[in-house]
Amino acid sequence: MVTAPVPDNSAMDDTANASEGPTVGSVDPTTLIVYDGCSSDYAAWTRQDRPNKFRKRMIRRLPKGGSVLDLGCGAGWDSAAFLASGLQVIPVDASAGLAREAERLLGIPVRRLPFDQLDEPAVHDGAWASFSLQHVPRDALPDVLSRIARALKAGGWLYVGVQEGEQTRRDRLGRLYCHYRRVDLEARLSEAGFGDISCETSSGIGYDGSRNQHLNMEARKLG
């Protein structure tokens, strides 16, 4: 069984600590350092998180051979499932360590860039952001969602998974987490040009061992 490394000086699960350390656009450098340092262990841990009904629903909604952005692809397990279903996948992750893990699994390149550098025409049928946008500094989320919307074709589908709540915090490993209430995330999605917004709640245990409530949001680009 893979266990998450927890530092001895890890009393960081505190809203006040979330403001410590600089962020750069959509990237929190401390969060990247954590993922780069535990990428192989994290890859093994995330493999346990199967199956996924939201991923299955995304696959059903997209056209055969369609294109999907995997935003914050991590070790690549979701991308692998999309590829196996016949979709074209563009995996994206800002962590060099996780990108290497994903490339090893998938055999295709991973785009190593932060979300605020996503700049594509409306060419993709879907975008998958599974518990990655919660690491984006709160004030950067509107721009990131607008960039995702621009990358999608009209009618394209988006999935977003985040932890539920109102706090901004760092977990015991030092990763930045921006929690969202359903009403607030729905508003951000609507402002970015999405409609047909739906939400399901779930719960789970994170890599740091903490249990959290989740929002699973699905939306469609208008136009």
Q: Could you tell me which residues are beta bridge partners of residue 160?
A: 129, 217
* Burial category of 62 from C-beta neighbours within 10 Å (exposed 0-12, middle 13-18, buried 19 and up): buried
- Band (pLDDT 50/70/90 cuts) for residue 159 is very high
Return the CATH superfamily for domain 30-117+147-175+184-221.
Answer: Vaccinia Virus protein VP39 (3.40.50.150)
Instruction: Sketch the domain layout of the chain as residue ranges.
Output: 30-117+147-175+184-221
Residue 223's pLDDT band, with cuts at 50, 70 and 90, is: confident
**C-beta of residue 134 within 8 angstroms of C-beta of residue 163:** yes
Strands of 133-189, DSSP E: 152-163, 168-170, 176-178
pTM over 0.95: no
Do the beta carbons of residue 213 and residue 188 sit within 8 Å? no
Using the predicted structure, report yes or no on whether residue 15 has a pLDDT greater than 90. Answer: no
For Cα atoms 38, 126, 25, give the angle at the middle one, nearest 5 degrees: 50
| pLDDT tens track for 113-142 | 999 999 999 999 999 999 999 999 999 999
Instruction: Give the per-residue pLDDT at 13.
Output: 47
What would the pLDDT profile of 32-45 be if each residue is shown by its tens digit?
A: 999 999 999 999 99
| 94 has pLDDT over 70 | yes
Find the mean pLDDT for residues 90-113.
97
